[in-house]
Amino acid sequence: MAFCSNCGKELAAGAKFCFECGTPVGKTDETVRRTVYSGEIHKCPSCGEVLQSMTAICPACGHELNSAKLASAIKEFIDEINECDKIIANTPKKELPKKGWKSWKKSTRILWVILNIFTSCVPLVIYLTLPLFKPLLRSNATPELSSTEQRKVALIENITFPNDRESVLEALLFTKSKMAFLASEKANEKNAFWLRLWNTKATQLHQKATILLSNDTIAETECNEIVASKNAVDKKSVFVLE
C-alpha cells in the first residue's frame, strides 16, 4: 500500500499522480506509513503490572516504588538548605538604622516632651500604639535578602519533588520541621516571608501526596501537622511590633 509523499493520501494501484494534491508518484517514491512508539512503559519490578504516571504503590501487588536516584536528589536538596541555614545563622546581622526617638535630634526631643506636657501625653499614646496596627502575615512584601538567602529561595522554589513514596514522605518531614521551627521563633517580617515560602511548597507536597498516597495515614498526619504549624503562627503573629 502506497501513500503520497506530500499529503499522505492513500494512492490507487498504479497511479502516477496523487488525486488529492497532484504530486507525481515516482517508481521508487513509495512512502509506507509506519507506527512509531514514543516514550517508555513503566512496569512494577515485583509483578510486571504496567504503571500509570504518578504511581507510588503498585495497584496490583502493593509493591512500594522507590528510586535511589530520586531519593539522592531529595537528600541533596536538604543538605543544600541546611548549608544555607548554617551560613545565614553565622552571618553577622547588619545593624539596623535608628528609628523614632533614638533618631531624633536633641531639640526635637525637647519639643516632643513639651508637646506631651501640654496635650496630656496624647501624642505619646499614639506613638506607642501605632505599630500595633501594622499587619504582619497579611503583607506579601519580600524583605531584603542576602545572597545566601536568595540562593535558599531559589532552591525552595525550583525543587521538583519525585513521585515515589519514600521521597514524598521525606520531603514532608523536612518541610514540617522547617515550619515548626518558624512557629517557635519570634514573629517578624523575615520569618513571615519564609513561612509563606515553605507553606507554598507544603501545599504542593500535600497535593502530590493526595494523588500518590491516597489513604496513607502517615502522609496525611504529616500534612495535618504542617497546617497546624501554619495556623499557630497565624494566630501568634498578627502584628509586627517595632
Query: Model confidence at 238, in pLDDT bands (50, 70, 90)?
Result: very low
d(CA 198, CA 157): 9
Burial code of 99-127, b = ≥16 C-beta within 10 A, e = fewer? eeeeeeeeeeeeeeeeeeeeeeeeeeeee
Q: How many CB atoms lie within 10 A of CB 174?
A: 18
Average pLDDT over residues 94-110: 74
pLDDT score of 154 more than 90: yes
The secondary structure of residue 132, as a DSSP letter, is G
Give SS3 for 135.
Answer: strand
pLDDT score of 116 more than 80: yes
Query: Model confidence at 122, in pLDDT bands (50, 70, 90)?
Result: confident
pLDDT in tens, 14-33: 787 887 888 887 644 444 55
- Domain positions in the chain are 1-36, 41-65, 68-95+134-236
Q: Which of 161, 129, 126 minimizes the C-alpha distance to 54?
A: 161
Average pLDDT over residues 51-64: 67
Mean residue pLDDT across the chain: 75
Q: Which of 108, 234, 115, 240 minimizes the C-alpha distance to 182?
A: 234
Q: Output 100 or 237, whichever has higher pLDDT.
A: 100
Q: Is the pTM of this model over 0.85?
A: no
Torsion of CA 145, 151, 156, 160, to 10 degrees: 150
